[in-house]
Amino acid sequence: MKNTALLRDPKQRKLLFSAGLSWLFDAMDVGIISFIVAALAVEWNLAAQQIGLLTALNSIGMAVGAAVAGSLADRYGRRSILIWTLLIFSAASGLSALATSFAVLCVLRFVTGFGLGGELPVASTLVSESVPAHERGRAVVLLESFWAGGWIVAALIAYFVIPHYGWRTAFIIGALPALYALYLRRAIQDSPRYIGQRSRKLSFMERAASVWSPKHRRSTVTLWIVWFTVVFSYYGMFLWLPTVMVMKGFELVKSFQYVLIMTLAQLPGYFTAAYFIETLGRKFVLVAYLLLTAASAAWFGSAETEGMLMAAGICLSFFNLGAWGGLYAYTPELYPTSVRSTGVGLASSFGRIGGIIGPFLVGILLARGLPMTFIFMVFFVSIVIGALVVLFLGKETKGTDPDQDTDVRMA
């Protein structure tokens, strides 16, 4: 009988945990800003459109960082780019504590976003390339599960630190991952697939041309659409979640407490997705979890009572983050090693455009007095579109090896 234990190789387990902690720190920083803007809205008297602008600038930085870091990782290796992106977002997060104006904070959040967006596609590519094919999807989903850990840490910081020590202290805590980067220098190595490449490294234009070549074009179109819809809805909903709870009548500390409870639901969402992704396939996880996310979004937007809000928020976290795990597992499997990080980075970068529009759009719609029910129906429609695109255009990648069938010819 086949041994189904995950990552029996200690080196692979160490890589998953080491990369996972960097992922956790990334999520912690993204999560912290969602809580900090709720506090800043009170302290700096920020309008809804200013909150939307601040979160949008963070996503603009993530879009640029994903494209740049993804390309550099195919050229200079996954490990070195992972470490540099970690250092960039940690330093910028720490400097955000010194911001004396809204404009300065916006600039620093852009730089932070650059590092954050750059790290994610590189880390997922590194793990995907470093484990056997029959464990690959599950390993990447488990890597993504560290995201929930980061949001839980962010929620704990918001609940215990921000009300007593202020938002600047939260930003200082966000600088601590810079110390972890020193450990990563010795703890991880580049993936065997990347190191084992015998061909010359392609230029960025050659890699971009391959991603959009006839062989990969359908996959690229599918990924760009689903990444856009998922990121648009996720950042539009979750970066506003603490603020939305306040707008629904809960005090700031109480809203932080509720968001912490909702965040805990992300972990079982990841773990169930990790199980199903190797038993029922990538497409099943993505389509099913996205459709259930859409239903949860419509429910949350129309919920009025405390119990309904909590139940809908828990379901929203559970299914949305399970879908994220499936997306990160699915994306690297559609491209060969020579262009994989570029393909993942470009898809992630295009998705981040949705992350720019989502939070900013919420600010605009709220400023115009539109009800929360309407706003969350916008996200409902977006997520359903993403699910249908995967269902009808996506191909199943479970057990496949894109390196055995590639159109890239190198001198």
Domains in the chain, number: 1
Alpha-carbon span 209 to 232, nearest angstrom: 26
pLDDT, tens digit, for every residue of 339-381? 899 999 999 999 989 888 887 788 888 888 888 889 999 999 9
CATH number, domain containing residue 42? 1.20.1250.20
Alpha-carbon span 366 to 368, nearest angstrom: 5
Show the tokens assigned to 205: 């234009």
pLDDT, tens digit, for every residue of 221-230? 999 999 999 9
* pLDDT of amino acid 11: 81
Alpha-carbon span 45 to 50, nearest angstrom: 10
pLDDT class of 252 with cuts at 50, 70, 90: low
Q: Please state, for a pLDDT cut of 90, what percent of the chain lies above it.
A: 33
Q: Is residue 323 part of a domain?
A: yes
Residues 157 and 276: beta-carbon distance below 8 Å: no
Is the confidence at residue 251, as pLDDT, over 90? no
Torsion of CA 50, 52, 58, 64, to 10 degrees: -110
Q: How far, CA to CA in Å, does 227 sit from each of 13, 68, 323, 401?
A: 28, 17, 11, 22
Q: Is residue 15 part of a domain?
A: yes
Mean pLDDT for 300-319 is: 86
Q: Is residue 199 part of a domain?
A: no
Q: Is residue 3 part of a domain?
A: no
Q: Is residue 53 part of a domain?
A: yes
Q: Is residue 408 part of a domain?
A: no
Q: Is residue 5 part of a domain?
A: no
Q: Is residue 160 part of a domain?
A: yes
> Residue 258 belongs to what domain range?
11-189+204-400
